Structures are given as C-alpha cells and as structure tokens.
Amino acid sequence: MSAQRRHQLSLGASSAALAAGESAGIIAPVAAARMVDGAMGDSASDAALARLNQAVAELKALTIAPLLRRAIDAIGADDNKLASELALKALDQDERNGLAWYLLAIAREQAGDFKGSIACYESALSLTENHADIANDLGRLAYRVGMKEVAAKLFAHYRAAYPDCAQGANNLACALRDMNRYEDAIGVLRPAILANPESAPLWNTLGTILSEQGEPAGALTFFDEALRLDPDFAKARYNRANGRLDIGDTAGALEDCEGAMPGAVAAADLAMMKLARSTMLLCHGRVGEGWDAYEARQDPDFVDVTHFMIDRPRWTPDSPLAGRHLLMIGEQGLGDEVLFAGIVPDVLEALGPDGHLSIAVEKRLISLFARSFPTATIGAHQTYKVDAHTVRGAPFVKDRSTVDLWTPVASPLRRFRRAVEDFGGHPSYLVADPERVAHWKDHLADLPSLKVGILWKSLKLSGSRLRHFSPFEQWRVVLETPGVSFVNLQYGDCEAELAEARDVLGLDIRQPEGIDLKEDLDDVAALCGAVDLILGPANATTNIAAACGAPVWLLSTPAAWPRLGTDHYPWYPQVRVFSPPAFNEWAPVMKQLAEALAAEV
C-alpha cells in the first residue's frame, strides 16, 4: 500500500476535517430524545466474525491468511488498533484484497473513525464478489452518520440478496422512515411482518413510523405487540414511553423509560433513554432531578452529543463563582440558546463585581446579547463536523488562560433553578433596540386596531418535529377574528401560506419591509416590541419576543417539558399558554385561541 494512502487512512479527526466542517457552516444538533430504532446488525458480532473466519478459510491468498485471522481475533478482543495494523500489513502484500479492506473497515468503525471506515467499506465493496453483507454494514454506517439516501440504497441491495431476512427489511424501513417516506417504509414492513409475524423489531419499527406521523395511539398498539412478543425488548419499552408522553400519560412514560434503561444493549440507546428520562422528570415538575439528569446530553455515547473544544476546567454546581472568569457557551438550537440565557442575570450576580462573564452565542444573537448584558463579553461560537461528530468552540476568546471555568449554557440551571418557584425572577432579560422599536411602530402605524404578530412553524419541520406544529389551515378561525391586523413574523419560506391567507381567506398579513426574519434577529426583537401581541408555537422568534418581555400567546403541546409540569411557562411569566386537549387535536385549541383574541379586541 502506498505511504500516501496509509497516511490518509490514519488521519481520523484531522485538522483538515475541522477546516472542512467550518467551511460547511454546520450547525450543532438539538439535544432531543427521540424514538430508538435504527439499523440493526453488528459487523463485529460473534456471528459476523464467524462468517469472516469462514471466508478466510476459503481464501486462496494463503500468505496473508494468518494476518487476517489475527485481525479477526483482535476485533473480537476489542483491540481495534492491532486489528487495523494487521489489516494494513495484509494490504501491503495485496492492496486489492477485499477481505482485508473489510476487516480494516470494521476495525476503523469500532474505533470511531467513521470517515476512514466508510472509505474502507467502499473499497471492500468494489473488490468483493459476494458483497451483500458488506453493503449492509456500509449501509449501517451511512445510516449512523446521517447519509440516509445512501443507506437506503445499500439496504435495498442487501434485501435483494436476502429477501426473507427480517433484519434487512427493518433496516430499509428505518432509512425510508427517516427520509419521511412513510408509505414506502410501511410497504417494506407489511410483507416482512406477514412473513415474520413473531419478529418484535418489525412491530417496533412500524410503531415508530406511526409515531413520526403523529399517531401515538396507533403507535402504542404496535409497541404493545412488540413487548408481547419480547417482554425484555428495551427499545420497544422506551418507544412506548415516548408514545405515552405524547398522549399526556407522563407517569406511564416515566415508568416505561426507567423500565427500559436496564435492558439497553447499545450505549447510544442508553444515553438516549437517560436524556428522555430527564425531560420526563421535568414534565413531572421534578425540576432539580430533571436538570441533574439533563447532563445526559453531554454523554459521549449520545448520538447527537456536541463535543466542546474548551481546554479549561468545567464548571460544576459547587464551583465558587465570585471573582472568577466564566465562559458560557450556547448549545442546541437557537431558541434553546435564548431560553437558557434566562440564567445569565443569576450568573452575573454570583460572579460579583470582580468577576467576568464571556458568552459564546450563535452569531445572529451577538448584538442583542451585547446590549442586554453590557458587562459581559459576547462573541460567536463556531461549530464543525469531524467525521460524524459535532464539535463546538469559542474562538473569539483569544487568551484561554484568563478563563477560570467554562460551562454549556444550560448546565447552571442545576444550581439556580432547582424548583418551579425559582423561575420568573427576571421576566425580561433581553433588551431590544429602542430606536428600532420606534421605527417599527412608525412602520406599522397605518394598521388599524390590534396589531398581532403571527408565526406558525419552525424552520425544521421534517419527521417527528412536524407533529408539534398546527397546520396552517387550522389558523383560519384565528385569522378571521374581526378587528385584528396581523403582522408576519414567520421566518423561512412562507410565501405559500401568505398567498393562501390572501387568496382563500381574503386576509392580507402584513409583510414587514426591509427585514430578514431569519437573519436579522436584533431587528426581529425590535419588531416584536412594536406589535401589541404575538401568537405562535415555541421557536426562536417566540423565545426572543418573550425574553424581551413582549406579550406572547404560546401554542404548546400537552407534554412540552419547558412547562415543567405546570399549565403555564415558568420561564416567561407574561406568556399565556394554549394547549390542545390531546396530542395533534388542534381544532379545539385554535377555537379557544380565536375566542381569547376576540375578547382581547
């Protein structure tokens, strides 16, 4: 093997990969508990290694066979470094040996080098005749790193070779589900279940598809069937916990989640379950326990974990703060950064006059945060993608030695918000630009009567997130309220909805001029301060508006964890919550919202 090729495979998480991630502008994922069901199979399982030993026994290249057998033994012993070295030695003798590439791919995958592993799997795939198993393993890895379309093609190849294999059907259905191709996924599962009615994983996957489609009651039926077939099936019990949470059964959800955790096989599944348990505790109002458990989002085994590149001591709840320099770094989505920033006034008070606070935020929030917290240093965090891992840093802090402690922005909640009663001390903590507020009031002065800002969705509405937002057509009863002038606050592509309101309902929702509602967040805060009321779901804009003290009526799902087990939003005392009576039942709550708005007029 060439020295250059060997070097490329040894890079792993390299500086080049960091640079590529930065240029791609990758955003950190939201730390959210999801259903657990993905591609099945393990390239390093006992059965897989037995197949590999059989393949080595049939190998004609006898000179490298001993190296390959030792590599298989090393994989079985979790010595992935030795396995890689042995596979590379075999490739030095025969660079076109597909089995050696396959073993190197497995070793690299087990070591967490997903980028190098994918390259090795591809080489093995091109050099091996009977490569259905390799396609399945490469599909699992592609699925794991988010390449769902590639994974679906590879799983389809495996299923063509093994049409009666329940695992093959399950893997393909999972990939199709995650691409929002729900009918196609069900089409794969239906014959597979008829052929394998005792396969609990197939019933479980069918349940996750219905859950993604916003049908938790139907999903529970399939999770129940999976558990009837296999009472120890931890994934199904955990997924049933999420289904119960969706229908408002928080006690049953927590019971199922805690019952599933001891049976979790994969470390990633256990980490997901721990995070879900934390939000279920918050739903119960067990706030202190919930925040302690919420640290599960930082578990290295959590699929969506963000790795922070901060080489300073990390803050803990018992760390003294007076007189220290603390770096807080934003995490998760934009709305989360704003929501969790409600802790900043408490942190500033704890640091005292001799302390200093630096805050790393999404760059669109810099001017708003700088005005709101004038004694703090505000800068942008930067996020990179290294192989399949999300990495975040705070490069604006040039001299790290001045930083005594650092923390993700949500972690201080463990110290300062141990109970619901600890919220509300700072009802508004962000400050909109008063000159821009005046500008927008002038801009909207021609609108008669009550001026109401409206938004109805999040920018990311794929998969399960769609379930948490009312379809636009459900807003009709609200939009037809007499005596109200509506102002569009919806960021992203919303031309179709604005046209529907205009052409079907005969309503002109005012589109503010000279503002990008997605990018100009400081001006969005000012615009929110210029209207009389804001209606919408929990997203970045409603969080900014509420944090600035604007009156907000929030559409919230029944089991939304930020409500902390209450009927209101403890984070923002002025926010009024409207919630459907059951999951996905939007009509009654929209009618209630319309009646309340008419009364306000």
pLDDT at 32: 63
Burial group, residue 322, by CB count within 10 angstroms (0-12, 13-18, 19+):
exposed
- Residue 163 token pair: 């049409």
- Residue 183 token pair: 């009918």
pLDDT at 206: 96
What b/e string do you get for 173-197 counting C-beta neighbours within 10 Å, with b at 16 or more? bbbbbbbebbebbbebbeebbeebe
Tell the CATH topology of 434-600: Rossmann fold (3.40.50)
In this structure, which long-range contacts are made by residues 220-225, counting pairs with CB atoms below 8 Å and at least 24 apart in sequence?
A: 220/244, 220/247, 225/200
Nearest to residue 522, comparing CAs of 552, 544, 538?
Answer: 544
Helix (H, G, I), strand (E, B) or coil at 458: coil
pLDDT-flagged residues of the chain (< 50): 1-29, 461, 465-466
pLDDT at 111: 84
Residue in the block written with tokens 């390239």? 43
- Measure the CA–CA gap between 35 and 239, rounded to whole angstroms: 5
Helix (H, G, I), strand (E, B) or coil at 352: coil
CA 362 to chain centre: 17
pLDDT at 141: 80
Is the CB of residue 280 less than 8 Å from the CB of residue 253?
yes
Is the CB of residue 472 less than 8 Å from the CB of residue 456?
yes
DSSP 141-210: HHHHTT-HHHHHHHHHHHHHH-TT-HHHHHHHHHHHHHTT-HHHHHHHHHHHHHH-TT-HHHHHHHHHHH
Convert the pLDDT of each residue in 424-477 to its tens digit: 778 899 999 999 999 999 999 999 889 999 998 865 545 554 455 667 888 889
- Residue 332 token pair: 């998760």
The helix (H) or strand (E) run that includes residue 380 is strand 377-380
Query: In the chain, where are the structural domains located?
Result: 306-415, 434-600
Convert the pLDDT of each residue in 215-267 to its tens digit: 888 999 999 999 999 999 999 999 999 999 988 899 999 999 999 999 998 88
- Measure the CA–CA gap between 235 and 564, rounded to whole angstroms: 26
pLDDT at 11: 31
Burial group, residue 280, by CB count within 10 angstroms (0-12, 13-18, 19+):
buried
- Measure the CA–CA gap between 91 and 483, rounded to whole angstroms: 77
- Measure the CA–CA gap between 232 and 242, rounded to whole angstroms: 17
In degrees, rounded to 5, the angle at the alpha carbon of residue 286 between the alpha carbons of residues 284 and 290 is: 105
382-386 β-sheet, strand order: 306-308, 389-393, 382-386
Distances (CA, A) of 443 to 113, 447, 487, 536: 54, 9, 11, 22
